[in-house]
Protein backbone atom coordinates (compact mmCIF):
# COMPACT_ATOMS: atom_id res chain seq x y z
CA UNK A 1 0.00 0.00 0.00
CA UNK A 2 1.14 3.51 -0.80
CA UNK A 3 0.20 6.83 0.84
CA UNK A 4 -0.28 9.15 -2.14
CA UNK A 5 -0.53 12.60 -0.50
CA UNK A 6 1.87 13.97 2.14
CA UNK A 7 3.32 17.40 2.93
CA UNK A 8 6.62 18.52 4.45
CA UNK A 9 8.42 21.71 5.50
CA UNK A 10 8.71 22.43 1.77
CA UNK A 11 5.11 23.66 2.06
CA UNK A 12 2.88 23.71 5.15
CA UNK A 13 3.89 20.46 6.86
CA UNK A 14 6.21 20.32 9.87
CA UNK A 15 8.38 17.28 8.99
CA UNK A 16 11.21 16.83 6.49
CA UNK A 17 11.02 14.47 3.48
CA UNK A 18 13.49 12.20 5.32
CA UNK A 19 11.10 12.02 8.28
CA UNK A 20 8.10 11.27 6.04
CA UNK A 21 9.97 8.36 4.46
CA UNK A 22 10.89 7.00 7.91
CA UNK A 23 7.26 7.30 9.04
CA UNK A 24 6.09 5.46 5.90
CA UNK A 25 8.57 2.65 6.53
CA UNK A 26 7.50 2.43 10.20
CA UNK A 27 3.85 2.23 9.06
CA UNK A 28 4.72 -0.77 6.88
CA UNK A 29 3.90 0.97 3.60
CA UNK A 30 5.40 -0.10 0.27
CA UNK A 31 5.76 3.50 -0.86
CA UNK A 32 4.93 7.13 -0.33
CA UNK A 33 4.25 10.24 -2.40
CA UNK A 34 5.52 13.75 -1.72
CA UNK A 35 2.88 16.31 -2.72
CA UNK A 36 3.79 19.70 -1.32
CA UNK A 37 1.70 22.70 -2.32
CA UNK A 38 2.90 24.27 -5.58
CA UNK A 39 6.49 23.05 -5.32
CA UNK A 40 8.68 20.06 -6.13
CA UNK A 41 11.54 21.26 -3.89
CA UNK A 42 11.65 18.18 -1.62
CA UNK A 43 11.91 15.53 -4.33
CA UNK A 44 15.66 14.88 -4.24
CA UNK A 45 15.77 14.40 -0.47
CA UNK A 46 12.63 12.23 -0.52
CA UNK A 47 13.95 10.04 -3.35
CA UNK A 48 17.17 9.37 -1.43
CA UNK A 49 15.35 8.65 1.85
CA UNK A 50 12.88 6.29 0.14
CA UNK A 51 15.74 4.43 -1.49
CA UNK A 52 17.39 3.89 1.91
CA UNK A 53 14.16 2.42 3.29
CA UNK A 54 13.38 0.33 0.19
CA UNK A 55 10.21 2.35 -0.42
CA UNK A 56 8.70 3.24 -3.79
CA UNK A 57 8.81 7.03 -4.20
CA UNK A 58 5.97 8.75 -6.02
CA UNK A 59 7.00 12.32 -6.86
CA UNK A 60 4.19 14.86 -6.95
CA UNK A 61 2.86 18.25 -6.08
CA UNK A 62 -0.52 19.64 -5.03
CA UNK A 63 -1.34 22.38 -7.51
CA UNK A 64 -3.63 25.19 -6.30
CA UNK A 65 -6.44 26.03 -8.73
CA UNK A 66 -9.74 27.84 -8.28
CA UNK A 67 -13.12 28.31 -9.89
CA UNK A 68 -14.83 31.44 -8.57
CA UNK A 69 -14.80 31.19 -4.78
CA UNK A 70 -14.06 27.45 -4.81
CA UNK A 71 -10.50 26.26 -4.40
CA UNK A 72 -9.70 23.01 -6.19
CA UNK A 73 -6.53 21.07 -5.37
CA UNK A 74 -4.98 18.90 -8.08
CA UNK A 75 -2.36 16.27 -7.34
CA UNK A 76 0.16 16.05 -10.18
CA UNK A 77 2.28 12.88 -10.07
CA UNK A 78 5.51 12.35 -12.04
CA UNK A 79 5.35 15.81 -13.62
CA UNK A 80 8.56 17.16 -15.12
CA UNK A 81 9.72 19.55 -12.37
CA UNK A 82 11.51 21.62 -15.02
CA UNK A 83 8.50 21.99 -17.32
CA UNK A 84 8.55 25.69 -18.22
CA UNK A 85 4.83 26.35 -17.81
CA UNK A 86 4.49 24.42 -14.57
CA UNK A 87 7.62 25.95 -13.02
CA UNK A 88 6.38 29.41 -13.99
CA UNK A 89 2.98 28.78 -12.42
CA UNK A 90 4.61 27.52 -9.20
CA UNK A 91 6.76 30.68 -9.08
CA UNK A 92 3.73 32.85 -9.68
CA UNK A 93 1.78 31.04 -6.95
CA UNK A 94 4.66 31.50 -4.48
CA UNK A 95 4.51 35.29 -5.00
CA UNK A 96 0.74 35.21 -4.91
CA UNK A 97 0.81 33.32 -1.60
CA UNK A 98 3.12 35.94 -0.06
CA UNK A 99 0.81 38.77 -1.16
CA UNK A 100 -2.22 36.90 0.13
CA UNK A 101 -0.60 36.11 3.48
CA UNK A 102 0.15 39.82 3.96
CA UNK A 103 -3.48 40.61 3.24
CA UNK A 104 -4.64 37.93 5.68
CA UNK A 105 -2.37 39.43 8.36
CA UNK A 106 -3.86 42.88 7.62
CA UNK A 107 -7.35 41.46 8.09
CA UNK A 108 -6.32 39.78 11.32
CA UNK A 109 -4.87 43.09 12.56
CA UNK A 110 -8.17 44.80 11.78
CA UNK A 111 -9.83 42.08 13.89
CA UNK A 112 -7.45 42.84 16.77
CA UNK A 113 -5.01 39.98 16.11
CA UNK A 114 -1.53 41.50 15.64
CA UNK A 115 0.97 38.97 14.27
CA UNK A 116 4.62 39.62 13.51
CA UNK A 117 5.16 39.33 9.75
CA UNK A 118 8.73 38.29 10.46
CA UNK A 119 7.46 35.38 12.55
CA UNK A 120 5.00 34.25 9.86
CA UNK A 121 7.73 34.23 7.21
CA UNK A 122 10.12 32.48 9.61
CA UNK A 123 7.55 29.73 10.19
CA UNK A 124 7.20 29.29 6.42
CA UNK A 125 10.98 29.28 5.90
CA UNK A 126 11.76 28.70 2.23
CA UNK A 127 8.28 27.27 1.57
CA UNK A 128 5.37 28.98 -0.19
CA UNK A 129 3.35 30.55 2.67
CA UNK A 130 0.13 28.73 3.52
CA UNK A 131 -2.64 29.39 5.99
CA UNK A 132 -1.28 26.75 8.42
CA UNK A 133 1.85 28.94 8.87
CA UNK A 134 -0.36 31.88 9.87
CA UNK A 135 -2.43 29.58 12.09
CA UNK A 136 0.76 28.38 13.81
CA UNK A 137 1.78 32.01 14.47
CA UNK A 138 -1.66 32.61 15.99
CA UNK A 139 -1.27 29.58 18.28
CA UNK A 140 2.18 30.84 19.37
CA UNK A 141 0.68 34.22 20.25
CA UNK A 142 -2.00 32.51 22.34
CA UNK A 143 -4.78 33.92 20.16
CA UNK A 144 -6.27 30.45 19.66
CA UNK A 145 -5.60 27.11 21.40
CA UNK A 146 -4.81 25.18 18.21
CA UNK A 147 -4.65 25.28 14.41
CA UNK A 148 -8.21 24.00 14.01
CA UNK A 149 -9.51 26.89 16.13
CA UNK A 150 -7.53 29.35 13.98
CA UNK A 151 -9.27 28.00 10.87
CA UNK A 152 -12.69 27.76 12.50
CA UNK A 153 -12.57 31.29 13.92
CA UNK A 154 -10.62 33.17 11.24
CA UNK A 155 -8.92 31.44 8.32
CA UNK A 156 -11.35 28.89 6.83
CA UNK A 157 -12.71 29.58 3.33
CA UNK A 158 -15.17 32.45 3.66
CA UNK A 159 -13.99 33.16 7.23
CA UNK A 160 -13.43 36.70 8.59
CA UNK A 161 -9.70 36.80 7.74
CA UNK A 162 -9.83 34.60 4.63
CA UNK A 163 -8.43 35.93 1.38
CA UNK A 164 -8.66 34.03 -1.93
CA UNK A 165 -5.50 33.25 -3.85
CA UNK A 166 -5.61 33.84 -7.56
CA UNK A 167 -4.96 30.60 -9.36
CA UNK A 168 -5.58 28.81 -12.64
CA UNK A 169 -8.95 27.37 -13.46
CA UNK A 170 -8.90 23.63 -12.56
CA UNK A 171 -9.48 22.62 -16.22
CA UNK A 172 -6.31 24.54 -17.13
CA UNK A 173 -4.59 22.94 -14.13
CA UNK A 174 -5.34 19.43 -15.44
CA UNK A 175 -4.05 20.48 -18.88
CA UNK A 176 -0.86 21.89 -17.33
CA UNK A 177 -0.16 18.71 -15.34
CA UNK A 178 -0.77 16.61 -18.45
CA UNK A 179 1.45 18.87 -20.53
CA UNK A 180 4.19 18.42 -17.92
CA UNK A 181 3.91 14.65 -18.53
CA UNK A 182 2.16 13.90 -15.24
CA UNK A 183 -0.94 12.12 -13.96
CA UNK A 184 -3.63 14.46 -12.59
CA UNK A 185 -5.70 13.32 -9.61
CA UNK A 186 -8.38 15.46 -7.99
CA UNK A 187 -7.53 15.88 -4.29
CA UNK A 188 -10.23 15.58 -1.56
CA UNK A 189 -13.26 16.67 -3.64
CA UNK A 190 -15.50 16.61 -0.58
CA UNK A 191 -12.99 17.59 2.06
CA UNK A 192 -12.85 20.44 4.58
CA UNK A 193 -11.82 22.94 1.92
CA UNK A 194 -15.28 22.84 0.35
CA UNK A 195 -17.02 20.33 -1.84
CA UNK A 196 -16.10 20.46 -5.52
CA UNK A 197 -19.29 20.36 -7.62
CA UNK A 198 -20.08 17.42 -9.86
CA UNK A 199 -20.22 19.79 -12.83
CA UNK A 200 -16.62 20.83 -12.24
CA UNK A 201 -15.45 17.24 -11.69
CA UNK A 202 -17.18 16.19 -14.93
CA UNK A 203 -15.34 18.97 -16.77
CA UNK A 204 -12.06 17.76 -15.27
CA UNK A 205 -12.76 14.21 -16.46
CA UNK A 206 -13.37 15.56 -19.97
CA UNK A 207 -10.09 17.50 -19.68
CA UNK A 208 -8.25 14.22 -19.01
CA UNK A 209 -8.25 13.78 -15.24
CA UNK A 210 -6.57 10.48 -14.34
CA UNK A 211 -8.14 9.75 -10.95
CA UNK A 212 -10.02 10.95 -7.86
CA UNK A 213 -8.83 10.88 -4.25
CA UNK A 214 -11.85 9.18 -2.68
CA UNK A 215 -10.25 7.95 0.55
CA UNK A 216 -9.16 11.03 2.49
CA UNK A 217 -9.41 11.75 6.24
CA UNK A 218 -11.68 14.72 5.42
CA UNK A 219 -14.22 12.40 3.76
CA UNK A 220 -16.73 10.45 5.78
CA UNK A 221 -17.64 6.89 4.73
CA UNK A 222 -20.53 8.15 2.59
CA UNK A 223 -18.39 10.69 0.71
CA UNK A 224 -15.64 8.13 0.05
CA UNK A 225 -18.21 5.59 -1.19
CA UNK A 226 -19.89 8.19 -3.37
CA UNK A 227 -16.66 9.13 -5.17
CA UNK A 228 -15.58 5.51 -5.57
CA UNK A 229 -18.86 4.66 -7.28
CA UNK A 230 -18.89 7.88 -9.35
CA UNK A 231 -15.34 7.25 -10.56
CA UNK A 232 -15.95 3.55 -11.29
CA UNK A 233 -18.90 4.45 -13.56
CA UNK A 234 -16.52 6.62 -15.58
CA UNK A 235 -13.70 4.11 -15.66
CA UNK A 236 -11.46 6.24 -13.42
CA UNK A 237 -9.34 4.86 -10.58
CA UNK A 238 -9.64 6.24 -7.07
CA UNK A 239 -6.82 6.79 -4.63
CA UNK A 240 -6.42 6.92 -0.86
CA UNK A 241 -4.04 9.11 1.13
CA UNK A 242 -3.53 10.72 4.52
CA UNK A 243 -2.75 14.33 3.42
CA UNK A 244 -0.19 14.29 6.25
CA UNK A 245 0.95 17.73 7.49
CA UNK A 246 3.03 16.81 10.56
CA UNK A 247 1.73 18.56 13.67
CA UNK A 248 -0.32 20.98 11.53
CA UNK A 249 -3.07 18.37 11.08
CA UNK A 250 -4.40 15.52 13.18
CA UNK A 251 -3.70 12.67 10.74
CA UNK A 252 -0.85 10.18 10.32
CA UNK A 253 1.04 8.65 7.41
CA UNK A 254 -0.57 5.44 6.19
CA UNK A 255 -3.99 6.31 7.64
CA UNK A 256 -5.40 6.07 4.10
CA UNK A 257 -3.62 4.35 1.23
CA UNK A 258 -3.71 3.23 -2.39
CA UNK A 259 -3.03 -0.28 -3.75
CA UNK A 260 0.18 -0.69 -5.71
CA UNK A 261 -1.71 -1.70 -8.87
CA UNK A 262 -3.55 1.65 -8.96
CA UNK A 263 -0.28 3.54 -8.51
CA UNK A 264 1.30 1.50 -11.32
CA UNK A 265 -1.64 2.29 -13.63
CA UNK A 266 -1.27 6.02 -12.89
CA UNK A 267 2.46 5.78 -13.55
CA UNK A 268 1.82 4.15 -16.93
CA UNK A 269 -0.22 7.20 -17.98
CA UNK A 270 2.80 9.48 -17.51
CA UNK A 271 5.61 10.48 -19.83
CA UNK A 272 9.29 10.49 -18.85
CA UNK A 273 10.73 13.85 -19.95
CA UNK A 274 13.37 13.68 -22.66
CA UNK A 275 16.85 13.32 -21.19
CA UNK A 276 15.56 12.33 -17.73
CA UNK A 277 15.47 8.55 -18.15
CA UNK A 278 18.02 8.08 -15.36
CA UNK A 279 16.53 10.30 -12.62
CA UNK A 280 15.38 8.49 -9.45
CA UNK A 281 11.67 9.03 -10.13
P1 LIG B 1 -3.71 27.39 1.65
O2 LIG B 1 -2.85 26.60 0.74
O3 LIG B 1 -3.01 28.55 2.25
O4 LIG B 1 -5.03 27.75 1.07
O5 LIG B 1 -4.03 26.43 2.87
C6 LIG B 1 -4.55 25.15 2.62
C7 LIG B 1 -4.15 24.22 3.73
O8 LIG B 1 -4.78 24.63 4.94
C9 LIG B 1 -4.66 22.80 3.51
O10 LIG B 1 -3.71 22.04 2.83
C11 LIG B 1 -4.81 22.28 4.91
O12 LIG B 1 -3.57 21.82 5.35
C13 LIG B 1 -5.13 23.50 5.72
N14 LIG B 1 -6.55 23.61 6.06
C15 LIG B 1 -7.56 24.00 5.26
N16 LIG B 1 -8.74 24.03 5.93
C17 LIG B 1 -8.45 23.67 7.20
C18 LIG B 1 -9.22 23.51 8.40
N19 LIG B 1 -10.54 23.78 8.42
N20 LIG B 1 -8.56 23.11 9.53
C21 LIG B 1 -7.24 22.87 9.51
N22 LIG B 1 -6.46 22.99 8.41
C23 LIG B 1 -7.05 23.38 7.28
ZN1 LIG C 1 -1.57 22.05 3.21
FE1 LIG D 1 -5.43 20.10 -0.35
FE1 LIG E 1 -2.70 18.46 0.81
- Number of Cβ within 10 Å of residue 258's Cβ equals 27
Atom number, ligand 1, closest to the C-alpha of residue 100: 3
pLDDT per residue as tens digits for the range 38-77: 999 999 999 999 999 999 999 999 999 999 888 999 999 9
Query: Is 132 touching ligand 1 by the criterion CB < 6 Å?
Result: yes
Query: Is 254 touching ligand 1 by the criterion CB < 6 Å?
Result: no
SS3 133: helix
* Calpha distance 185→2 (Å, rounded): 15
pLDDT per residue as tens digits for the range 133-170: 999 999 999 999 999 999 999 999 999 999 999 999 99
Task: Name the residue with the closest Cα to ligand 1, atom 13.
Answer: 132
SS3 217: coil
Torsion of CA 227, 230, 235, 241, to 10 degrees: 0
pLDDT at 89 over 70: yes
pLDDT at 194 over 70: no
275 CA → ligand 2 middle, Å: 32
Q: Is 274 exposed, middle or buried (0-12, 13-18, 19+ CB in 10 A)?
A: exposed
Helix, strand, coil percentages for the chain (3-state, nearest 5):
40, 15, 40
pLDDT per residue as tens digits for the range 206-264: 999 999 999 999 999 999 999 999 999 999 999 999 999 999 999 999 999 999 999 99
Amino acid sequence: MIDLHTHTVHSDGTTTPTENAALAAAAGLAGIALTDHDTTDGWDEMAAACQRHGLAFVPGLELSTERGEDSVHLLGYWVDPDHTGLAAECDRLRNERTRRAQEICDRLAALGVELSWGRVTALAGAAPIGRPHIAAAMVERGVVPDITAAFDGYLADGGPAWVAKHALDPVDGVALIRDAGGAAVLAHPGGPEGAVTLDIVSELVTAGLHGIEADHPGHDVAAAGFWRAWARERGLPTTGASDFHGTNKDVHIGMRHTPRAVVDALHEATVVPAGKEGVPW
